[in-house]
Structure 1
Amino acid sequence: MADIKNPDLAAGGRERIAWAAREMPVLRQLSERLGRERPLAGLHISGCLHITTETANLALALQAAGAEVVLCASNPLSTQDDVAAALAGDHGIPVFAIRGESTETYYGHINAALDHRPVITLDDGADLVSEIHKRRRDLIDSMLGGTEETTTGVIRLRAMAAEGALSYPVIAVNDAQTKHLFDNRYGTGQSTLDGLIRATNILLAGKTFVVCGYGWCGRGIAMRAKGHGAHVIVTEVEPLRALEAAMDGFRVLPLREAAAIADFIVTATGDKHVVDRTHFERMKDGCVLANSGHFNVEINIPALEALAVERRRPRASVEEFLLADGRRLCLLAEGRLVNLAAAEGHPSAVMDMSFANQLLAVVHLAQHGRELAAQVHPVPAEIDREVARLKLAAMGIDIDNLTGEQRDYLSSWQEGT
């Protein structure tokens, strides 16, 4: 059983899944090993993730390890319909995801994935965990745990844990070093710029490019925009991050000031209404707005709609809002993740590490979930190290090892100056 756009798209999805696999050697090695060991045999697993070629390879690795997997989309505009068709048709993995689905269908698909009665959930934004705790509490007693892929999801889960509302353990995959240092920075940086360029075909060189938020995603976006020759401004609310941005060579301004001179404004904060009416009122004609921070609330779209006297779509992923004074503001991808809605998401090579962490975290939950408290847990350090070791080996990179003398020195307090 599945709900996808068109089963006839499977052939194209099959080829693209295989293409992505070529750039995912760590996941491939783990899939081969776990395929022999079968540590997930018979376990029901539901994932609310972006249905992309990279996610397909994670799903196939989980299946190889013995799991019975069901997937739904974590964003209405991120589903690659050919990939969904290939997973359902070629591999028997039920997928409930259609690109462009309505909000009603989106939540219907989440509940279809939960009808699988999973014992482990995989989230990209905490929607499965949230739905289980709000409306599907009958599933809680059987849960071994969950994993969370994104900064936004981890924030939501930690809020639940702080209120005592979280009823089963969740591993914050986003916080693994082999995830956020690479996926968030290099993956988001490249894929966001890819989405902007595909959507607009506007030259970035010489433009004023504002990045809202200087977490790991914001760092990556700013770095890549600078590489394209843009004049990058960073806006922040955290003084340490603002200081770091300044010392990385970026101009740091309040968004109210930056909005008046921006050609591009990209959000990457995970917060709500970061770009608001007061900013729209100051923007210059033609300013391009995009979000790369997960949910479509970072840009206050209702406020922008209220200011507009006319709306049109000059390009597939661009909506132009004409204001009463004649200015035009351009919103990309309906305010959703521009790197997935207007492009193909992160490169496979960085998702290789992220999804290797997901896979090993699921195995850890299968083996130890009953022992863990209902809290947000870090990825075990040994998993992080194993992913890094396997990635280095796949890249043909060898590194030094400490000598016995060096290990002794680092563990002793008696040797010194």
Structure 2
Amino acid sequence: MNMVSESIVKDMALAPNGHLKIDWVKEHMPVLNRIRERFEKEKPFAGLKVAISLHLEAKTAYLAKVVQAGGAEVTITGSNPLSTQDDVCAALVEDGIRVFAKYNPSPEEYKSHLIKTLETRPDLIIDDGGDLVTILHSERRDLLSQVRGGAEETTTGILRLKALDKEGKLEFPMVAVNDAFCKYLFDNRYGTGQSVWDGINRTTNLVVAGKTVVVVGYGWCGKGVAMRAKGLGAKVIVTEIDSIKAVEAYMDGFEVMPMSEAAKHGDYFVTVTGNRDVIRKEHFEVMKDGAILSNAGHFDVEVNKVELEALSKSKRTVRKDIEEFVLADGRKVYLLAEGRLVNLAAGDGHPAEIMDMTFALQAVSLEHVNKNYESIGKHVLNVPYELDEMVARYKLEALGISIDKLTDEQKAYLDSWVE
């Protein structure tokens, strides 16, 4: 196969820089390297086709190469128009992976890249946000029959999968990688927390200390964003719809209030809910002059851009990835990265050491589905605990950290109801 002629990328001349990026993250992903060594020997995906839709940057590229090392024919596309890195795409093509992706495609191009990826008729899929699954279950059901199952990366995708499962319409098993301990405890919290502020800081070049940050949503991602904002010296307000999470945010030392009130105080806003319109017309109307809006949820629907534009008398790009909206009374509101994931659209995403654990989970979850797809049913499944624990154990070993083990007597004590 000639992957160059079969692929759609911006410019193959960019490949050398893409290889450098991939080589860099490989050096910082010891867990995934260990799994790759086993895959190279055992070839768990020999003769199979794997389709991947993820944020297409260097760490994702290395996951694709690990799956390829397991014997798969891999095709990959992006899961967000602004997170694709063209040099990484070109490098993957040189490494024998089919790629359908470009930075900032039109909506029509973006959709066509997803469909072309599925038209390779994959046996297994890795999805991020549920785009591949949604297309397979709606307009391209003709491509369903060969799919054995797959794994889903993020909260938004799992919400879509669970809706399908609840209605009895999910046509193959999908592992909810996002719900694994080694994903949400580290990727969602520490990865999102650091990478969101990497993206905001490199884009705005403004100080965070002393300012007020409004974090919209206090799930694991929101906890990480709030924690890092506090570390940068900000005053932090959390908005929530869940009473338990709101109490947690309060006891973690943050102010908690409705968005209608928080909108009046924020200098920075970060949305991390997975829901739409969490910042909208009535909030724009009371914001401070100079407020900066950003989103770290999967889709660009959390900040209502249509209502913001309707309230504005002018709009312009004032700096790369910063749009200025001038409201009728002269106040200015700034939106980062078109309201798309600020950590990827305006940055490089999570640190390599964090994604090492997440993508290790993806690789072994895909292997688990392939081994068991005939018996596990067409449902959303949790990552088996033994795989979760294995990834954590590999991580500790890579860090040179040892932990205790139960003695036989301790095991017997915990397993018995008799003293």
Smaller-chain TM-score bracket = over 0.9
The one of 396, 399, 403 equivalent to 2:407 is 403
- TM-superposed CA distance for 1:361, in Å, is 0.6
- RMSD between aligned residues: 0.6
Structure 1 position 73 matched with structure 2 position 82? no
Match of 1:179 in 2: 183
Match of 1:155 in 2: 159
Match of 1:204 in 2: 208
Q: SS state of the match for residue 180, structure 1?
A: helix
The one of 348, 352, 359 equivalent to 1:355 is 359
Match of 1:17 in 2: 22
Match of 2:329 in 1: 325
Deviations along 1:269-306, one digit per CA (max 9) or x if unpaired, are 00010001010001010000000011000000000010
What does residue range 5-154 of structure 1 map to in structure 2 within 5 Å?
5-89=10-94, 91-154=95-158
List gaps (5 residues or longer) in structure 1: none
Deviations along 1:361-413, one digit per CA (max 9) or x if unpaired, are 11111111121211100001111011010000001100000000110111111
What does residue range 237-256 of structure 1 map to in structure 2 within 5 Å?
237-256=241-260
Q: Which is worse superposed, 21-30 or 366-375?
A: 366-375
In the alignment, is the contact (CA less than 8 A) between 2:313 and 2:327 conserved in 1?
A: yes
Cα distance in 2 for partners of 1:35, 1:158 equals 34
- TM-superposed CA distance for 1:146, in Å, is 1.3
Q: SS state of the match for residue 145, structure 2?
A: helix
In the alignment, is the contact (CA less than 8 A) between 2:266 and 2:288 conserved in 1?
A: yes
- The amino acid that maps onto 2:41 is R
- The amino acid that maps onto 1:140 is L
- The amino acid that maps onto 1:325 is D
Structure 1 position 337 matched with structure 2 position 341? yes
Cα distance in 1 for partners of 2:374, 2:79 equals 27
Structure 1 position 166 matched with structure 2 position 160? no
Match of 2:387 in 1: 383
- The amino acid that maps onto 2:62 is N
- The amino acid that maps onto 1:311 is K
Deviations along 1:98-131, one digit per CA (max 9) or x if unpaired, are 1111110010000010011001111010000000
Question: TM-score, normalised on structure 2?
Answer: 0.98
List 4+ stretches of structure 1 deviating above 4 A.
none
- TM-superposed CA distance for 1:167, in Å, is 1.0
Match of 2:3 in 1: none
- The amino acid that maps onto 2:390 is E
- The amino acid that maps onto 2:344 is L
In the alignment, is the contact (CA less than 8 A) between 2:119 and 2:143 conserved in 1?
A: no
- TM-superposed CA distance for 1:28, in Å, is 0.4
Q: Which is worse superposed, 245-254 or 133-142?
A: 133-142
Match of 2:9 in 1: 4
- TM-superposed CA distance for 1:141, in Å, is 2.1
Cα distance in 2 for partners of 1:270, 1:296 equals 10
Match of 1:295 in 2: 299
Q: SS state of the match for residue 371, structure 1?
A: coil
Cα distance in 2 for partners of 1:206, 1:99 equals 35
Q: SS state of the match for residue 60, structure 1?
A: helix
Deviations along 1:71-124, one digit per CA (max 9) or x if unpaired, are 0110000001110010012x1101111111111001000001001100111101
Cα distance in 2 for partners of 1:56, 1:140 equals 25
- TM-superposed CA distance for 1:60, in Å, is 0.5
In the alignment, is the contact (CA less than 8 A) between 2:361 and 2:388 conserved in 1?
A: yes
- TM-superposed CA distance for 1:354, in Å, is 0.3
- TM-superposed CA distance for 1:139, in Å, is 2.2
- TM-superposed CA distance for 1:54, in Å, is 0.5
- TM-superposed CA distance for 1:230, in Å, is 0.3
Count of aligned pairs between the two proteins? 414
Cα distance in 2 for partners of 1:139, 1:371 equals 21
List gaps (5 residues or longer) in structure 2: 1-5
Cα distance in 1 for partners of 2:331, 2:181 equals 43
- The amino acid that maps onto 1:47 is I
Match of 1:392 in 2: 396
Cα distance in 2 for partners of 1:98, 1:39 equals 30
